[in-house]
Structure 1
Amino acid sequence: MSEHTPHIRPIIRQLDDSVANRIAAGEVVERPASAVKELVENALDAGARRIDVTISQGGKSLIRVVDDGCGMTAEDLPLALSRHATSKIDGSDLLNIHSFGFRGEALPSLGAVGRLKITSRALQDGAEIRVTAGKAEAVRPAPANRGTIVELRDLFFATPARLKFLRSERAETQAIADVIRRLAMAEPSVGFTLSDEDRLIFRADAEQGDLFDALHARLSRVMGRDFIDNAIRVDAERDGVRLTGFAALPTYSRGAAVAQHVFVNTRPVRDKLLTGALRAGYFDVLPSGRYPAAVLFIDCDPHFVDVNVHPSKAEVRFRQPDLVRGLVVSTLRNTLAQESRRASDTVGAATLAAFRSEETAQSPGFRYQMEYRPPASALQAAHRAQAPDFQGFSESPSARFEPVPEQVVPADAPLGAARAQIHENYIVAQTSDGMVLVDQHAAHERLVYERLKAQAAQNGIAAQALLIPEIVELPDEDAARVLSIADDLAGLGLQIEAFGAGAVAVREIPALLGKLDAAALIRDIADDLAEQGASDRLKARVDAVLSSMACHGSVRSGRRMTADEMNALLREMERTPRSGQCNHGRPTWVKLSLSDIERLFGRKD
């Protein structure tokens, strides 16, 4: 029988400052972009109105940040390099955070893994301090303008293993540029430059004007003119929480979530709750695989949000997350509905490009795949719901508008007056300043869909009782989350109740969905609630069926329409929210201005 190795009691030791700083650097300084973020945020907290950043080799060999802020005295410099030394909080209230930084770890962490030099001047003479691999030299006098210059060379030379985890010089430079752009969006009244030694990468001069004017100008420079031309102003407030910014029209969507920027009290964050709310706000107007573009600012009392939940302060925790999520979702949905008739410039630009080129110019690729097929009875019910537009149901319904008396089309009608129908699918309408081309099937599909949703909201979703309730076993916390929204699910036709510890009984399901894997749906909802605090999964399934019903019960391509019918369709589009996109997120109409048409024929330069 072998002898067991005797247990050796570990000895508790106090880590020296250099080791502690290198550990802190691993949390705070992940890559050169992290260092730039910390230094620029320090400059902003110092009240800088202009910040110039210079890098070399993707920030690996040089990062220099020059600001015109309040500066530091010779006595301040050694303290600035001490861990947990800061002027931004006094420790009495850790939730009352009005600054970007507050831990006092950035400068000592950077000094522990690189060669750091800080030159600063407050009101009197300038001073300089150097620190290499955590070892600081004495403060010495130095000529300097008002403000601070922080120069970091040879990042991670003291921890060479970290260099192996860095990406290419180009990728690191791009990451730094992204950091500067996000901070430039947060502070439009501050001027920024980013240079790679002699090459200017990014420049944004300080913007003037009120909140929206300055932000509008800054986003035009940072996000591009296309974004701001296709963006809608967002401004709402609820219970002390204000939401402002710009959200792009659904037709200006992206293939990835690269144009989504959310700020909390001007702090750039990447928060699952907020990105989920942004996605839910565009629910029903974007096709699968497309992502909204938006720059949103949430401002609230600092005590309402905890920013001290992540070393890099990239995540936050709200005291009332449901309030914030509800504000974002409802504001976006209402704003998009109000602006639904405004066509994205990208669609018109693609149309013009198609006229100018022999090659077909396509709008961003829209892909849609129907996941749910409604039962025939549901389609029949949808068809009957369209009266007087539809008189009965058949495999090929006529789905036509009833003729209306000849009437004069208002001169200011946004979608104009119908002049022709081409290829028995597209309506050509004349407006006061151009023309509109309408996809009759896509347009009426959205109108029918909105009507079905309104009826479902008013009367509720019909439920179908299960002969034998389905019991879904869940962890206790997941079961509690799902049961907490039982009333909301019941409104969508899903009736659930508790069934002992850690189990949920499903007694009724939405009749529209036909056969349904209730257990899988309940587990998906539980996952959504755990990750995002909310779930739109069931509503998405119900709406998908309503969408399919609308598709089958709308004006078909290839159907001839009279002038009165076409004008009736245009007028209803003008009255219906979200009529600018069909149920699958594609545009329902395209507008060409008269000036653009004249340029096509060389009448204008």
Structure 2
Amino acid sequence: MPAIRRLPEHLVNRIAAGEVVERPASALKELIENALDAGATQVSVSLAEGGLARLEVTDDGCGMDPPEMALALERHATSKLPDEAIEQVLTLGFRGEALPSIASVSRLTLESRSRAAVQGWRRVVDHGTMVDEGPAALPPGTRVRMEGLFARVPARRKFLRSARSEYAACLDVVRRLALARPEVGFTLEHDGWRVLHLQPGQDMAGRAAQVVARELADNGVAIDFERDGDFGALRLSGVAGLPTYNRGVADHQYLFVNGRPVKDRLLVGAVRGAYSGMLARDRHAVLALFLDLPPEEVDVNVHPAKTEVRFRDATAVRGFIVSALRQALATGDRRSVQAPDGAAMGRWQAEPLAPPEPPALRSIFEGRDWSAPAARVAEAPAAWRSHAASVPAQPLGRAEAAAEPVLPQADYPLGVARGQVANTYIVAETPDGLILVDQHAAHERIVLERLRAARSESGTGQAAAASQALLLPEVVELDEVACDRLEDSAAAFLPYGLEVERFGPNAMLVRAMPAALKGGDPAALLGDLADDLAANGASLLLGERVEHVLATMACHGSVRAGRPLTVAEMNALLREMEATPRSGQCNHGRPTWVKLSLADVEKLFGRH
């Protein structure tokens, strides 16, 4: 067996760099965090070729003296951990590996000047070897330049992506850290072009609108919840997008723990659980969430890049996030994304300004002397009567006499029903525009909220919902594994009015259905419930599994598209939407109603 030996210092630094510096974005993250920990109020980032050729970070923080600069380039040297209480760390960085790790795999130029010094100092380290040092001219603060990353480590260099991909990763890092510190100004330049310019002193909502998405200001709800737990106070703040404002990928979810940007699986799962029943499974929420809790209750030292954390009581944290998010989204109630789709608006056809005359009329008026006075007013000649007879009778709109006086439209936020299009969409009129309602999506949300309301807020929360016993129990045949899943969850179905029991190896017996699902198909319902349990049952908490079950029930019990409704039924649906929380979106995150303002209508007719 070979003898045990100590690794040489340069190899140790390269191994450490492999943990900390994976690509330009990871080095950029460490440098910006150092700037923020130094008390900077302005951070400027400059990139060349996505950071592959050059990466520079300049700040106006406290700066360093020459001896401190020399110490900062040594491994495990830091000013951010004054004692050994690592569980009490409040700074973004604390491991003391960033600068020496970056310097071991690139050419690093470190320039800094403390506020008390009259001039700055510069140190240049080329792949672990100090090659130059001397005075430097710069204002108080620090400037770090990284050039030629992995130039002498070709095995690592070949794993880097294109300049465009590396730039996208760097941009994401800047956005996340800029969102974490809205009081700090940020600028980002890439290949001489200014990409990002954020003013210092912004509030969180304004910074989120600039960094995450401008539409979030109009399509999001503010979050600020606190709870006192057994281990201290929990607080969740930020902004969460409405379920109808979503994306196909989760790249617009910004999560922070005690001001530290993280990409933690527990937090991502909590967000997914909070939006369950409001988003389709292939859609993702847009949000920026800040979780604050006592530092001793979270371990930030479980990952070299500090992007993952570990909570002492993960279940309590997850439950707090889910409940706070759902409560915040409930305050949005009927809100939905209301920006008219530009492509859809562009499909409106404008009639020609001068429609051609019918041939029969043209033959009547051609050749007539209009200067001669008319002798009398006479009935139109036979040619006109024959043309009028060929015009088909106009269709009559479906209208019904009101059973009682109709109240002013202002009393109804969703307006008064005027008709139905394609037996699917309800047309309602409000004082300032028109509203189109998807009757199936709207009723699906209403049924889901009815089922949720069946749970009592007191005791165990298992008060039974109204149930409709079947005259003859129905046998539903399924495969044995699906029956096993349904049998295991049968007790969880009872509070919602669904009563099932095992009926042989490959069948389930349905004895009662929820009253809200009157007329539903038991076989289709059980098939979908079995699929939901197979996809989510093992990985979700009981409450979240129940949410999936309720969403599936609601879909089966809602008014289907293609069903004609009376005016009274349409108005009843609108009134119930106004009283139902989260009625602005269906269970899959699609809007239940959209509004066409009078201004939009006037634009269609050229009246603006």
Show the counterpart of 1:97. Answer: 89
| Aligned residue number for residue 13 of structure 1 | 5
Question: Are 2:422 and 1:423 equivalent residues in the alignment?
Answer: yes
Instruction: Output one character per residue of 1:197-242: Cα deviation in whole Å (capped at 9) or x when no partner.
Output: 322222222243xxxxx12221222223223221111111112111
Q: Distance in 1 between matches of 2:510 and 2:95?
A: 51
Q: CA RMSD in A?
A: 3.5
> Hey, what does 2:282 align to over in structure 1?
289
Q: Determine whether 1:269 maps to 2:262.
A: yes
Equivalent of residue 318 in structure 2, options 297, 317, 325: 325
Contact kept? 2:451, 2:465, Cα under 8 Å = no
One-letter code of the match for 1:451? R
Confirm or deny: 8 A CA contact 1:493 1:508 kept in the other structure: no
SS at match of 2:550: helix
* Unpaired runs of at least 5, structure 1: 1-8, 209-213, 359-402, 465-469, 473-482, 496-506
- Equivalent position of 1:400 in the other structure: none
Q: Deviations for 1:527-585, whole angstroms, at most 9, x for unmatched residues? A: x26xxxx466632552244124313xx265341412x3322221110001122223343
Aligned counterparts of 2:569 and 2:495: Cα–Cα separation in 1: 36
Q: Which residue in 1 is equivalent to 2:562?
A: 557
How far, CA to CA, are the matches of 1:523 and 1:342 in structure 2? 30
Q: 1:41 aligns with which of 29, 33, 55?
A: 33
Q: Given residue 134 of structure 1, which amino acid in structure 2 is its aligned partner?
A: G
TM-score normalized by structure 2? Answer: 0.77
The letter for the 2-side match of 1:79 is L
Distance in 2, matches of 1:338 and 1:111, equals: 51
Q: Which one of the candidate residues 43, 47, 52 is aligned to 2:44?
A: 52
Is contact 2:409-2:429 (8 Å) kept?
Answer: no
Deviations 1:32-73 (A, max 9, x none): 110111001100111111111111122122111111111001
Q: 1:127 to 1:65 in 2, by over 3 A?
A: same
Kept in 1, the 8 Å contact 2:335–2:582? The answer is no
Q: Tell me, yes or no, if structure 1 residue 252 matches structure 2 residue 263.
A: no
- Correspondence for 2:399: none
For 1:316-375, what per-residue CA distance to the aligned partner results, in whole angstroms no more than 9, with x for missing partners? 1112212221122112222222213112034555653444799xxxxxxxxxxxxxxxxx
**Pair 1:145 & 2:113 matched:** no
Decide whether the 8 Å contact of 1:115 with 1:155 is kept in 2. Answer: yes
- State TM-score, norm by structure 1: 0.77
**4+ runs deviating over 6 angstroms:** 460-464, 485-495, 507-513, 515-520
Q: Is the 8 A contact 1:248 1:293 kept in 2?
A: yes
| Cross-structure match for 1:376 | none
- Aligned pairs for 1:292-371 (under 5 A) are 292-346=285-339, 351-355=344-348
Match status 1:599 vs 2:603:
yes
Q: Secondary structure at the match of 1:287?
A: coil
The gaps in structure 2 that reach 5 residues or longer are: 352-401, 456-461, 474-479, 483-487, 500-507, 513-521
Q: 2:168 maps to what in 1? A: 174
Report what 2:576 is aligned to. 572
Would you say 1:199 and 2:193 are equivalent positions?
Answer: yes
Residue 547 of structure 1: aligned partner: 554
Q: Name which one, 1 or 2, has greater alpha-carbon Rg.
A: 2
Aligned to 1:588: 592
SS of the counterpart of 2:240? Answer: strand
Secondary structure of the residue that 1:345 maps to in structure 2? coil
Q: Which residue of 1 aligns with 2:213?
A: 224
Partner SS, residue 411 of structure 1:
helix
Stretch of structure 1 that moved more, 227-236 or 255-264: 227-236
Q: What whole-Å deviation, never above 9, does each CA across 1:141-188 have from its counterpart, x for those lacking one?
A: 222210001011111123221000000111111111111111111111
Number of the residue aligned with 1:444? 443
CA distance in 2, matches of 1:346, 1:315: 37
Aligned 1:384-533 pairs, distance under 5 A? 405-409=404-408, 411-455=410-454, 458-459=463-464, 514=526, 525-526=537-538, 528=539
Residue type of the partner of 2:553? L
Structure 2 residue matching 1:418: 3-state secondary structure: strand
**Further displaced range: 512-521 or 314-323:** 512-521
Residue 417 of structure 1 contacts residue 567 of structure 1 at CA under 8 Å; is this kept in 2?
yes
- Comparing 415-424 with 262-271, greater Cα deviation is found at 415-424
Q: Does 1:127 align with 2:121?
A: yes
Identity of paired residues, percent?
Answer: 47
> Which shows bigger deviation, 455-464 or 148-157?
455-464
Which secondary structure does the structure 1 equivalent of 2:247 belong to?
A: coil
Using the alignment, how far apart are the partners of 2:496 and 2:260 within structure 1? 37
In structure 2, relative to structure 1, the CA distance for the partners of 1:524 and 1:198 (3 Å cut) is closer
Which 10-residue stretch deviates more, 238-247 or 217-226?
217-226
Closer, same or farther in 2 for the Cα pair 1:110/1:261, shift >3 Å?
same
- 1:441·1:555 contact (CA, 8 Å) conserved in 2? yes
